[in-house]
Structure 1
């Protein structure tokens, strides 16, 4: 039988560089001969990508926080069924740009005290946590400037402004303390290659 794969997620505020670091880690591990599935949330499967367009584009007040929680959970369930679980069962390493921790923050914390709702839905419908979560910690102002400069058309959450990013940064740090056995926090205010080396070292130490 094939050994169960490894599930690594990247978290952080918008513009923190987590997407870049997820890609660089995937390239590094592929170079070492590992089978890698690089994916993202919301998205990562055909159905989830359709939901991604609903939640990341359009007016900031398009959805209530409660509706967003349901949409993100639906996307995550499809992603899990069609991408993540099959890859892990095949012994592959899954590297995911955001997972449930982002919903705990952006919907559970930022727009009301809905963390308990997020956790209940997660326990009911998802029942999966990463083996390792790498938090790329970034100055909120710098991260927001980076995120807005991308011009992808998916800036719905960035449009809430720097105050949300500040709240999210502290929320992610608190989450890292809450789940300290799963989380590792890295200073993302450094050069990309320096951050990438730190990520590689953490992964090598955690999964020798």
Structure 2
């Protein structure tokens, strides 16, 4: 897949830059975000690294519900909890950071809601995107890095890191996670100018190099 085309100005605000990382469990989003943050700061950029859900104190409480609540959580309730987190997070963290010219690196955003709740939960991709777009109040990523990884490999990585401790979504069957993976890939095919798809099975250094090349072009870093 070709590298994303760099826009002439930030799609989010015209000032800062909004970069999201997506992918299944164990794909390495946290590792790649940490490395990218360090690299950007070394190039003099102000960086805000955050996540959904859980990027605010309110979001932490929502995260505890959607990922660790015991018992059944209705799919529509789950989707709306993610949307509530997003609305608060965008207003209090993302938009202010972009307005002051920062680079926002975010672990998961609207595409995760579409993949997990819209497609894998069967609630409808367009319905979930509509709710999520409304919650985000028009804030869209300038670049989305999709770390694509075989579901079995991803689960093995999670197990190696944490043992048999899984949250509600991680505990879903392999078929659920394969549906999520294919939903992400379909979104990437539909929006090639926004997405960078990287094979997350490659060594972490090689993955980071691909990401840095795309971000360099986006931000004009020599």
For residue 147 of structure 1, report the CA deviation from its aligned partner.
Answer: 2.2
For residue 164 of structure 1, report the CA deviation from its aligned partner.
Answer: 1.6
SS at match of 2:98: helix
Partner of 2:196: 184
For residue 40 of structure 1, report the CA deviation from its aligned partner.
Answer: 0.6
Partner of 2:87: 77
For residue 154 of structure 1, report the CA deviation from its aligned partner.
Answer: 5.4
Q: For each residue in 1:16-62, what CA deviation from the matched residue of structure 2 results, as whole angstroms up to 9, or x when unmatched?
A: 11111111101110111110000011111111111011111134x62
Structure 2: tracts of 5 or more residues without a match: 1-12
Mapped partners of 1:76, 1:150: distance in 2: 28
Structure 1: tracts of 5 or more residues without a match: none
For residue 122 of structure 1, report the CA deviation from its aligned partner.
Answer: 2.2
Is 1:30 aligned to residue 41 of structure 2?
yes
- The one of 108, 115, 119 equivalent to 1:105 is 115
Partner of 1:115: 125
Mapped partners of 1:148, 1:129: distance in 2: 33
Partner of 2:4: none
Q: For each residue in 1:154-179, what CA deviation from the matched residue of structure 2 results, as whole angstroms up to 9, or x when unmatched?
A: 52111112212211111110010112
Partner of 1:156: 168
**Normalization by structure 2: what TM-score?**
0.87
**Normalization by structure 1: what TM-score?**
0.93
Instruction: Tell me the matched-pair count.
Output: 206
SS at match of 1:51: helix
Mapped partners of 1:192, 1:17: distance in 2: 8
